[in-house]
A and B are shown apart, each in its own frame.
Chain A
Amino acid sequence: MSSETKKKWPLWEVFIRSRQGLSHKHAGSLHAADAEMALENARDVYTRRNEGESLWVVEAVHIVASSPGDKSTYFDPANDKVYRHPTFYKLPDEVKHM
């Protein structure tokens, strides 16, 4: 058992496209020895009830994530640019739809 525990199967993140026209969405994760096994396990575990028609599996170590600690400063630049939103622009009432 000890030699086995040293070589743990990597973690894979599973993404499912629920139907044509929608993007893939994160569904969960699983362990598998290789990509083929990850795909098969993802099918068996995450799509038992027609949840999807396309699967992506990505080894979790390959995902680069922003750091949650810097959330406020990292996404700050978006906050002070209210002019990016259509509601920033006041239009005369006569313009009904724009």
Chain B
Amino acid sequence: MNSTLFDAYVADEKKIEPKDWMPDAYRKTLVRQISQHAHSEVVGMLPEANWISRAPSLKRKAILMAKVQDEAGHGLYLYSAAETLGVEREDLYLDLLEGKAKYSSIFNYPTQSWADIGAIGWLVDGAAIMNQVPLCKCSYGPYARAMVRVCKEESFHQRQGFQIMLVMTEGSAEQKAMAQDAMNRWWWPALMMFGPPDGDSPNSAQSMKWNIKRFSNDELRQKFVDMTVPQAELIGLTVPDADLKWNEQTGHYDFGEIDWSEFKRVIKGGGPCNVQRLAACNKAWNDGTWVRQAATAYAEKKSSNATR
């Protein structure tokens, strides 16, 4: 196998498995993408965990815990997929803790009210699903298989979020205002989740050639807008975009300019919660050190007793 044969092989919709030959750049691209994806799942637990103790009912609390537990699981599936490429989960995770690795910029925004939990499920998980469904057909087998599991579980996340919003918009004027406020704050960051515009996305073309990525950032963003605007109308929420309008000719919604300077600022660490998120991950890691050490010591003692 060489690069030319490889390119033709993946272009033919064939799958690559861990021990197969692959170009170094393909491996590197996957390690970067899968680990960033895994980090996003892990950091993504934090904005939601903020509301577990304050969920409005026992039912909502149970649902939210199940959702956060799913995110931890998604992180694990993804770290496992990354490890098949010859990297160690712990090294990837230490990069995150040291602030050397990226994760989705969306999780650097705060969750200020209960409606934010609805907006996250509906908009953020909705955007994530839009990104992840095509990844189920990605050329790298372990990543594609992990995505199948993730997508199955995400669908509950999006529905429960939309339902939180639905219930709030049917509630008191104050609850409705809360839902609208959450919509106003999460809409634009959700659109940024699809990444920079196609003209400004250096890795996209190669990833599409390798069948890692199946649709461009702008294509997915457009799909998301087209899908979500009618859902917002259905529950009486206004999309915070004065330029948003249906375009008969294209059969799509036209929408306003995204503030890419904000996107870049948040990615670079200047978002409202970047510092807080990394501090929480580091605290959890450090607080858990003795547990990991105890488990290792116990396992060693047991195995040395068994061989004695």
Taking Cβ atoms with an 8 Å cutoff, the residues of A that contact B are 1, 4-5, 7-9, 11, 28-31, 33-34, 37, 44-45, 48-49, 65, 67-69
The minimal Cβ–Cβ distance linking B92 to chain A, given in whole angstroms, is 12
- Chain B interface secondary structure, helix, strand, loop or mixed? helix
B-chain residues with CB within 8 Å of residue A65 when the two chains form the complex? 19
A sample of 20 cross-chain residue pairs with beta-carbon separation below 8 angstroms, ordered by A number, consists of A1-B289, A4-B289, A5-B90, A7-B300, A8-B88, A28-B77, A28-B80, A28-B145, A28-B146, A29-B80, A29-B83, A33-B292, A33-B299, A34-B302, A37-B299, A44-B69, A45-B73, A45-B76, A48-B66, A49-B152
- B298 interface hit (Cβ, 8 Å): yes
B-chain residues with CB within 8 Å of residue A48 when the two chains form the complex? 66, 69-70, 73, 153
Q: Which of B77, B289, B299, B302 is most buried by chain A, counting CB atoms within 10 A of its CB?
A: B299
Cβ < 8 Å to A, chain B residues 250-308? 289, 292-293, 295-296, 298-300, 302-303
B-chain residues with CB within 8 Å of residue A29 when the two chains form the complex? 80, 83
- B246 interface hit (Cβ, 8 Å): no
CA gap between A70 and B247 in the complex, in Å: 55
CA gap between A94 and B251 in the complex, in Å: 58
- Chain B residue with Cβ nearest A67: B19
Residue from the list A11, A31, A68 in contact with B20, Cβ < 8 A: A68
3 residue pairs, one from A and one from B, having the closest CB atoms: A34-B299, A33-B299, A33-B295
A-chain residues with CB within 8 Å of residue B152 when the two chains form the complex? 49
- Chain B residue with Cβ nearest A34: B299
Cross-chain contact B70 with A8 (CB below 8 angstroms): no
CA gap between A4 and B292 in the complex, in Å: 8
CA gap between A67 and B90 in the complex, in Å: 27
Q: Which of B70, B76, B300 is most buried by chain A, counting CB atoms within 10 A of its CB?
A: B76
- Chain B residue with Cβ nearest A37: B295
With contacts A48-B70, A68-B19, A69-B21 taken as known, whether A7 is within 8 angstroms of B296 at the C-beta atoms is: yes
